[in-house]
């Protein structure tokens, strides 16, 4: 096999070596339960609180709270199902949300709640005009992702919150910020959202830990009950290694955020330039951060088939969200009114500043494998 090029960083990222080393002691030496009363446990509790402050700082939060969860999926479920007492009201969700939000919305529908989906524009963002038209005094809750996990499209959350609150000052607004956190600077106070979800394994941290920002004064009910950890909002013995690793990864990424953006932007430019040099009539679906692109490289070549062909050559891409990889459709692209055949021929490529990338080599292999699939070789 040739050199491996991992280009599925929207699915997960490689954990930083220095983060592993920095948190390793919480797996062996400092193994104590943070809820115990003896000094080693009290010290670990302090470390968790320091980690919480670090991540809040990376979010640009002056006030508000942060609770640690077992995943971003859990955080999204916690927010959405804490709003279910508002019967008779309308719940609005972006049409291209991550499965951890969409599946919650479907469950609300099954329970008899009034759920509606906000259309996307041709670039994969929320259709602002249609969004505004949907807002009235009966809307209780809105959930719109900051950056699309499928296309990288960026929603102007600050503006959308203002537009929503202008028509309904009491509306609760949640944003899934998993694909936005550490891609560019975020000031969650300025966004004015009530809730904001982030995840560790998308930023060089471990899998199995997420976090939910809660605006000061925002009301939320616990989703998991037990020992009362996380101020009673998320019971369960804390994942100390995960939490400390999350904070270390966030701190590292935050220091390099502009550098990383510039590197990824360079990778994307080089990749597209090589595609053009090699005669690819590619089509990019959506527009947004350079880290993630959904692209049709060759119409008629199934994206799923291409993914497996490239895997054998050491290039890892995807057809979309790993959380919906078993599905035979892409909800986001459908919401953008993209032709079905084009959707089936599309793949998602997502870069990282921490992963080696050689545009010439990758495109050479891409061209070779597509020609094989077309029977030209």
Furthest-apart CA atoms within the chain: distance in Å: 70
User: Which 3-state string (H, E, C) describes 76-91?
Assistant: HHHHHHCCCCCCCCEE
The H or E element spanning position 69 is strand 65-69
Query: Helical H runs in 302-358?
Result: 303-311, 331-335, 340-344
Alpha carbon dihedral 43, 44, 46, 47, in 10-degree steps, equals 130
Question: What is the rounded distance in angstroms from the CA atom of residue 143 to the CA atom of residue 161?
Answer: 10
CB-side neighbour CA atoms (13 Å) of 271: 24
Query: Two tokens at 339?
Result: 């032709």
C-alpha closest to that of 199 among 178, 171, 172: 178
Question: What is the rounded distance in angstroms from the CA atom of residue 194 to the CA atom of residue 252?
Answer: 26
What DSSP character marks residue 5? E
Question: How many residues make up the chain in this entry?
Answer: 377
Of the residues 224, 323, 334, 361, which is catalytic?
323
Q: Is 323 a catalytic residue?
A: yes
- At residue 8, φ and ψ (nearest 5 deg) are -130, 45
* Residues belonging to the active site: 323
């Amino acid at each position: 096999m040739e050199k491996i090029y991992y280009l599925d960083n929207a699915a997960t990222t490689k954990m930083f070596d220095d983060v592993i080393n920095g948190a390793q002691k919480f797996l062996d030496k400092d193994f104590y339960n943070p809820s115990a009363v003896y000094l080693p446990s009290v010290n670990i509790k302090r470390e968790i609180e320091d980690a919480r402050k670090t991540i809040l700082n990376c979010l640009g939060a002056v006030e508000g709270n942060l609770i640690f969860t077992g995943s971003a999926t859990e955080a999204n479920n916690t927010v959405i199902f804490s709003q279910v007492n508002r019967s008779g009201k309308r719940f609005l969700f972006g049409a291209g949300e991550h499965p951890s939000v969409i599946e919650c919305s479907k469950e609300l529908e099954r329970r008899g709640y009034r759920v509606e989906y906000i259309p996307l524009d041709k670039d994969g963002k929320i259709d602002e005009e249609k969004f505004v038209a949907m807002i009235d005094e009966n809307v209780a809750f809105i959930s719109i992702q900051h950056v699309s996990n499928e296309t990288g499209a960026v929603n102007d959350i600050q503006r959308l919150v203002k537009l929503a609150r202008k028509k309904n000052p009491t509306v609760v607004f949640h944003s899934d910020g998993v694909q936005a956190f550490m891609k560019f600077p975020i000031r969650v106070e300025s966004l004015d959202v009530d809730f904001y979800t982030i995840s560790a394994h998308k930023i060089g941290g471990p899998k199995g830990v997420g976090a939910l920002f809660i605006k000061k004064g925002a009301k939320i009910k616990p989703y998991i009950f037990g020992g009362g950890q996380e101020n009673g909002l998320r019971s369960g013995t804390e994942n100390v290694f995960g939490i400390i690793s999350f904070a270390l990864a966030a701190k590292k990424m935050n220091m390099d955020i502009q550098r990383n953006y510039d590197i990824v932007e360079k990778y994307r430019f080089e990749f597209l330039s090589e595609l053009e040099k090699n005669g690819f009539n590619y089509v990019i679906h959506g527009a947004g951060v350079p880290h993630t692109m959904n692209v049709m490289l060759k119409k008629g070549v199934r994206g799923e088939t291409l993914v497996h062909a490239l895997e054998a050559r050491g290039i890892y891409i995807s057809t979309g969200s790993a959380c919906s990889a078993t599905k035979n459709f892409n909800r986001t692209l459908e919401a953008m009114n993209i032709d079905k055949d084009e959707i089936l021929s599309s793949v998602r490529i997502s870069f990282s500043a921490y992963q080696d990338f050689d545009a010439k080599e990758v495109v050479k292999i891409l061209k070779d494998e597509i020609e094989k699939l077309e029977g030209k070789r």
